[in-house]
Every structure is written in structure tokens, then in C-alpha cells.
Amino acid sequence: MKNISVIGAGTMGNGIAHVFAQFGFDVTLVDISAEALDRAIQRIEKNMDRQVSKGILSEEDKAQAIGRIAKSQSIAEGVSNADLVVEAATENLDLKLKIFKDIDLNAPDHAILASNTSSISITKIASVTTRPEQVIGMHFMNPVPVMKLVEVIRGYATTDAVTETIFKLSKDLKKVPVEVNDYPGFVANRILMPMINEAIYSLYEGVAGVEEIDTVMKLGMAHPMGPLQLADFIGLDVCKSILEVLHDGFGNPKYAPCPLLVNMVTAGKLGAKSGEGFYKYT
């Protein structure tokens, strides 16, 4: 494993590119938008500056890591040399299927194709490729440079050898991999999203205010962020779409997104990224 291609230069994509480059891998970051690629490099530099100020990286480490990241606006070019491709595009099934077809066509035969999807079926993604046994979920948590977990999701056909390779690679990034099977929401979001939805219901039903709900969970359960602040951080549109995957996948009404969440997404209140969610951001 030497050459890693990361598809999508958003929050997760730039975080994933950051950690691979930090730990010595050559990274090609792929996005159709040149502007998104430039923004991602700036974001990685800023986040590496935090690590420099904490003594995690030296200025030289940072410069070398940044030097290991190449940019590309084309999947065909960006994956042509890859040992591993990590897809971190928008959480949209049709888009991911299209991207995976494209990656499969252009990546070397030996390449492992991973998705950072937070809830879409790995088996479904694998089914549009010619190498389903080499397709796997590699689900990083935001902020990627800080959070230790990689949820490793085995699709129906994923082999033991591919799973072991991804385990070893995650450990090389100083992360802790956990193996889970391919069911809606996997483990992380199957547990996290009902908690967030319940917090939104508590607000919707007038049980308590935003700050009160978050304070209960922060001080009562030692969560670093309250569930409403965390929902803003993840993105309310992302929370809604993951709940829909759980709802569709299990057919159980307990996963239906709270009407308040649906209304907020419809109104464009998507959390930190849109400037307003349960809190306001300047």
C-alpha cells in the first residue's frame, strides 16, 4: 500500500487525505471542482498547523505531508495508480454507484475500493463493480485527524484478506479498526442517529430547550458535544438521510426522522455548514 486516492474533497475527504499523507502515504485527492480541491488543501494546512502547535507534527513533517498530496479533477486519472481508493463523496446512492463504476473501470486490478459511506450498503455499492470481493467500508469519524475509530464494514463478498489489509492500514494510521457487518447504519449510526433523533423529538415536544438537552448529555453522560450540537456538526441533511436509510432498511417507524428535523432541512437550516441549525454560527 503506497498510493491512496481519495474521492471527494469535502470535510471527510480532506480529513482522510490528511491522515494518509501524515502517515507517509502518497495521496491523490480527486474532486470535480478545482475550488473544492484548493479549499481542501487550505483546510488540511490549517488542521496540520493545530498539530504543529501541539507538537504532534514538526513544520518539516507538515511540509512533507502536504507535498505528498496531489490534486486531480478526473477519477480516471486520479485512480489510475491507486493501491487503495477511498470514496468520500456526498451521501447519495446514485452518485456513489456512478462513482464506483468509474473507479472500477480505471483503478488497477489489485486496488481495493473502499467507501467512507456512513450508511449506504457496501454490498449494493460492490454490486456495480467487477470486484465485489475487493470492496469494503472504511468509515472514518469527523474530525478525522482526531477521532480514533475506523468502522470497517464487510460487504457480502468482501474477503478476509481484504479486511485484514484494511485493518492493518487503519492501525498504520494510528486508528482503531472495528469490524462490523453490512446492515443499515452499520453500528455507529444505528446507535448514534436514534439518540440524535430522540434529542430532536425532546425539543419538538417541548420537554426542554436546546442548551438544556445538550447540557444534560454533556454533563450527565460525559459526551464531548450534546446531541443537538453534534447534529449541527454532522449536518442536519446528513442526519436526515441516515435516518431514512435506517427507516427504509428496517421498515420500523422508530427510525423515522422527527418532523422538526425534516422541516429544518427543508428550510435550509443544515447546521454549522449553512450558518444555522439548532445553534447559529458566524
Q: Figure out which of the listed residues 3, 134, 158, 189 binds ligand CAA, where binding follows CB under 6 A.
A: 189
Q: Binding string to ligand CAA for residues 2 to 41, with x set by CB under 6 A, is what?
A: ----------------------------------------
Catalytic residue among 118, 119, 202, 241: 118
For ligand CAA, which is the closer residue by CB, 106 or 116? Answer: 116
For ligand CAA, which is the closer residue by CB, 111 or 265? Answer: 265
Q: How far is the CB of 48 from ligand CAA (least distance, A)?
A: 8
Asked if 234 is part of the footprint of ligand CAA (rule: CB under 6 A), the reply reads yes
Active site residue 179: no
Q: Which stretch binds ligand CAA (CB under 6 A): 32-40, 43-51, 76-84, 267-275?
A: 43-51
Q: Figure out which of the listed residues 64, 80, 128, 143 binds ligand CAA, where binding follows CB under 6 A.
A: 143
- Contacts of ligand CAA in 64-103 (CB under 6 A): none
**β pairing state of 26-30 and 69-72:** parallel
Q: Which three cell numbers stand for residue 112?
A: 481495493
Q: Burial level of 42, CB count in 10 A (0-12/13-18/19+)?
A: exposed
* Beta strand spans in 36-190 (E): 69-72, 84-87, 112-115, 135-140, 149-154, 176-181
For ligand CAA, which is the closer residue by CB, 224 or 253? Answer: 224
* Beta strand spans in 60-159 (E): 69-72, 84-87, 112-115, 135-140, 149-154
Contacts of residue 205, defined as CB under 8 A and 6 or more positions apart, other chains included, come to none
What letter represents residue 109's amino acid? Answer: D
Q: Which three cell numbers stand for residue 237?
A: 441533511
Catalytic residue among 116, 139, 170, 202: 139
**How far is it, in rounded angstroms, from Cα 65 to Cα 258?**
43
Catalytic residue among 3, 116, 170, 189: 189
Is 15 annotated as ligand-binding?
A: no
**How far is it, in rounded angstroms, from Cα 107 to Cα 103?**
6
**How far is it, in rounded angstroms, from Cα 134 to Cα 23?**
23
What is the total count of residues that contact ligand CAA (CB under 6 A)? 17
Q: Which stretch binds ligand CAA (CB under 6 A): 60-68, 129-137, 138-146, 268-276?
A: 138-146
Asked if 54 is part of the footprint of ligand CAA (rule: CB under 6 A), the reply reads yes
Is 10 annotated as ligand-binding?
A: yes
**β pairing state of 149-154 and 135-140:** antiparallel
For ligand CAA, which is the closer residue by CB, 130 or 281? Answer: 281
Contacts of residue 93, defined as CB under 8 A and 6 or more positions apart, other chains included, come to 120, 124
Binding stretches for ligand CAA (CB under 6 A): 47, 50-51, 54, 118, 141-143, 145-147, 188-189, 224-225, 230, 234
The residues annotated as belonging to the active site are 118, 139, 151, 189
Which residues are annotated binding-site positions for NAD(+)? Answer: 8-13, 31, 91, 96, 118, 142, 273
